[in-house]
Chain A
Amino acid sequence: MNHCKEHYDIIVIGAGATGAGTARDCAMRGLSVLLVERFDFTAGATGRNHGLLHSGARYAVTDQESASECIKENMILRRIARHCVEETGGLFVTLPEDDLGYQKKFVESCLQAGINAEVIDPAIAIAMEPAVNKDIIGAVKVPDGAIDPFRLTTANVMDARNHGADILTYHEVTDMLMESGRVCGVELREQRTGQKFRVRSSLVINAGGIWGQRICAMAGIKVNMFPAKGALLIFGHRVNNVVINRCRKPADADILVPGDTISLIGTTSSRIPIDQVDRMDVTGEEVDVLLREGIKIAPCLAYTRILRAYAGVRPLIASDDDPSGRSISRGIVCMDHAVRDGIEGMITISGGKLMTYRLMAEWAADMACRKLGLEGRPCRTAEIPLPGSETPEPETGVRKRKSHIIELSTDQKAAQGRHGTMSAEISYNADEDDALVCECEQVSVGEIKYAIKKLHADSLINLRRRTRMGMGTCQGGLCACRAAAILRDETGNPPAALEDLASFVNERWKGMMPVAWGQTLVEAQFMTWLYRGVCGLQPHEEACECETNENADR
């Protein structure tokens, strides 16, 4: 899976949404691209957010520029990433304790930014979304939605690869190659073997998110990132089908987003030291805050089972001393270090947010082309759909398993939702292919095989991010060992299969631990019996080295 050339036009560091988007954009413009990532796609902030297709309304009052970027990208993503987006619509509700006066200013700001915000009767809002607090005194309808960051990033990476880019995951940048004051490549360490090697390039694009500060430091560049930790909770099933926001100044736990089979409440915001960004543990206080505030917008959260908790770091570039990090601009920062620091050969793209990943990529690729003297290669990412979203409707003709049942099986429908038109590549030729690996999230053997062959996955954690395997109610209790067997069969001899299984189970447990009560605790206990008691999996001191640093994500 991992091979690369000696020299590239561009090396993109970081396979989050921004890095993947940048790799795609550059590759589509005909550049030779290497995308390197120290873990897996979406292992950083991309995999640890709300999955909210922002309308921009949330930023309208404080940051017009971000708001108008959001609504533009929102409309583009609905088109180019159709299979990653769910058009749920969104509400901004005013609770009795909130100031209804804010609503007017809010709506005005939205309209000014080009966001179609419409004041509606609270009764209509309650009818639209029965989970919302029945005591609301105001409601505004906005074009929010849900977006799956895993699918979005994977689709970008796949399309970059389709355009000739090479992909190296589990390769950490350990040093910058510097020659006469300019960056001319990177030194990489293969995480699994520890082997180091060098790759040269005309330009390095640093899309390392919060870790970008460290990347810059390797080139002797000083950048101050502003790490703001945000924690979220995942509920076991959908409690709402419309995004619910609280109509007030952005504060803790004021957005409830439906995402695939679950709902997410978030976020908190707390400043953390930069050296803590690899330790994202959710605290009891954060869980309390999320529940206390979450219950106000959707009272059913008081008793709905919580699957897990996770936290991400907003990769913002510090611009002032605001201690909360909220009033900071979500604006995009695209830096040519030749101009800023006098160091040629490197660009840092940061700030922004998931919603604007494509625009960030466009800016970075524009700058790269300019620097490489390749003007006149226009960005086409706003028009050309991502793989999976090509045609208006998913292709028909998927083999129906049950001849006497007129419709697709649940796992086939789920796979269509996850992979869009690409789901046609999932084989259902053998009965076994339609057997389920992950029962909670309806992932079939065929889909796992497809992910291994086509989606750059060779570990269980990779497979989870590509398919949702292990993201459901039982958090990997039943699917992990089944998927491990398929991995073995498909890849021949995967490295350290038992360690892979153990680190997968451990990662799931990390996310369950902060909310381990009620049935979630029972579930975790049951999983322990299964893996230790039935399967004989032993707890081990050192989990696979390359994954120990990986925190719990969605």
Chain B
Amino acid sequence: MEYQIKNISPNNLEQCIKCTICTVYCPVLAVNPDYPGPKQAGPDGERYRLKNPEFYDAALKYCLNCKRCEVACPSNVKIGDIIQTARIRYDKRPVSLRDRMLASTDFMGKMATSMSFIVNTALRMPLTKSVMDLTLGIDHHRSFPAYSSETFESWMRRKAPDQSRFPRRLSYFHGCFVNYNNPALGRDFVKLMNAIGYGVSLLEKERCCGVAKIANKMVDEARRDARLNIGSIRKAVSQGRPVIATSSTCVFTIRDEYPHLLDVDNADVRDSIQLATAFINRLVDEGRVKLVFRKDYRRRITYHTPCHMQKLGWSIHSVSLLRSIPGITLVPLESSCCGIAGTYGFKKENYAYSQAIGRELFDRIIEAGVDLVATDCETCKMQIEMSTGVKVENPVTILAEALDVEATMKANGVI
């Protein structure tokens, strides 16, 4: 055969051999029969959409973009990408005010932190929740995370200890949640990195990674943010600073969604964008840093694998680090989707599905009888805390809390 010798097709949908394994791993299909499932929404549906865009099925909006289908696929079909691209390309309905609000994490965060007390009080009031439910379609069961009175960025600029005295440097991609809602995690990250000899700086400019905008079809806005982020990241990397984030979703989006969903090239810096636990664990593995923990820290915890962490394949790093804390009893937890998928679970029409998807996970967590759930994703944290009542923290916070800072600094020659 003279032609098609390599038979490597850029038509990724052709790699699908219809084995249907993805369908088994789709968390949505298990609870929502109206969703066609990854195979049909992805490669199967794409054949029809290529024939005529009118075959676009509005039910594709039920896709969580969790990428569990892609992890399951033995033929390397980018099922999630095919679905997201189809939504972007063929769904011509305008983005609703609600979706725009949910997706504009930066804008909403800036507004809210400037008057956090009023906003937090208002967001907690049942009346506000009912009004938002009725007028916007944001489900009344949901609680918005409290907004911080001071952003993490402003804390870094004004109050953070001097970072220039540390022998090594990195840039921190904090993400919207740390900046506006949970600056404590950012402070924990700085504490942890300082203890092992890394000075932390902000990126020159940072915008939302774009995951929420992609999910809500605000692609142009997401692309603008992505270009700005990659520009800042490129600058940091060129100055010898790797870019580290504490959110698995931010890392995943910047590394793996920018090039093909937003057409923003990141090939030159992709390897320098790392998740905190993966970065630290590799250093520990290579013997380049040592972590020393407090003797009095005692916790029974479990680790929840966020979907994007599953896709990155990095939960092993978080789990290994947590295991290295002597006082921790780590209860194994099967990896499954919690159901929130960022802004997805906030939408009234998705609330029931969102909770149904997470049901088994919630039951297992409650059954495990843990003090704390560790996870690298902020929306998983919101979902699990709301649905189980168990406190959830980023592994970085747990590490920082368990750390014997002085001993660690000594062990790493920082002091």
Contacts and interface: CB of A to CB of B under 8 A. Distances in A.
Contacts of A519: 7, 14-17, 75
A97 interface: no
A399 to B, nearest CB: 15
A473 B51 CA distance: 14
B9 interface: yes
Contacts of B3: 288, 291-292, 295, 302
A197 interface: no
B4 A473 contact: no
Q: Which of B7, B43, B54 has the most CB of A within 10 A?
A: B7
A522 B73 CA distance: 14
Contact of B7 (A260, A261, A414, A518): A518
B8 interface: yes
A236 interface: yes
Contacts of A522: 17, 75
B293 to A, nearest CB: 49
Contacts of B57: 405, 407, 409-410
A526 B74 CA distance: 12
A546 B54 CA distance: 41
A439 B29 CA distance: 15
B286 interface: no
Interface stretch (B32-40, B128-136, B198-206, B309-317): B32-40
B75 A440 contact: no
A413 interface: yes
B11 interface: yes
Contacts of B7: 303, 305, 517-519
A304 B14 contact: yes
Given A478-B18, A518-B7, A414 B48 contact: yes
Given A238-B47, A474-B18, A413 B9 contact: no
A523 B47 contact: no
Contacts of B39: 439
Contact of A238 (B18, B20, B50): B50
B17 A526 contact: yes
A414 B18 CA distance: 19
Interface in A374-413: 402, 404-407, 409-410, 413
B14 A237 contact: yes
A402 B34 contact: yes
B16 A473 contact: yes
B34 A410 contact: no
B103 interface: no
Nearest to A414: B48
A240 B19 CA distance: 27
Interface in A88-121: none
A19 B6 CA distance: 44
A168 interface: no
Given A303-B9, A304-B11, A306-B4, A405 B58 contact: yes
B18 A523 contact: yes
B40 A439 contact: yes
Given A237-B47, A439-B44, A473-B16, A405 B4 contact: no
Nearest to B59: A405
Given A237-B46, A517-B1, A413 B40 contact: no
Interface string B58-86: 11000000000000000100000000000
Contacts of A236: 11, 14, 47
A287 B1 contact: yes
A329 interface: no
A104 B60 CA distance: 49
A479 B46 CA distance: 19
B162 interface: no
Contacts of B9: 303-305, 518
B77 to A, nearest CB: 10
Given A237-B47, A523-B18, A413 B54 contact: yes
Nearest to A474: B18
Contacts of A478: 18, 20
A451 to B, nearest CB: 20
Contacts of A473: 14, 16, 18, 43-44, 47
Given A405-B58, A405-B59, A410-B45, A303 B34 contact: no
B18 A237 contact: no
B17 A410 contact: no
A407 B4 contact: no
A431 to B, nearest CB: 8
B196 interface: no
B60 to A, nearest CB: 10
A442 interface: yes
B13 interface: yes
Contacts of B1: 284, 287-288, 517
A346 B179 CA distance: 89
Contacts of B94: none
Nearest to A472: B47
Contacts of B40: 410, 436, 439
A292 B14 contact: no
B51 A406 contact: no
A477 interface: yes
Contacts of A410: 36, 40, 45, 48, 55, 57
B287 interface: no
A474 B59 CA distance: 24
B14 A440 contact: no
Nearest to A409: B57
A296 to B, nearest CB: 11
5 contacts: A261-B47, A292-B3, A302-B3, A303-B11, A518-B4
The list of the 10 closest CB pairs from A to B, nearest first, reads A518-B7, A474-B18, A305-B14, A291-B3, A237-B47, A303-B9, A238-B50, A523-B17, A261-B47, A402-B34
Interface of A: 236-238, 241, 258, 260-261, 284, 287-288, 291-292, 295, 302-306, 402, 404-407, 409-410, 413-414, 436, 439-440, 442, 472-474, 477-478, 517-519, 522-523, 526
Given A261-B50, A473-B47, A477-B17, 9 more contacts: A236-B47, A237-B46, A292-B3, A303-B6, A303-B9, A402-B59, A409-B57, A442-B44, A442-B48
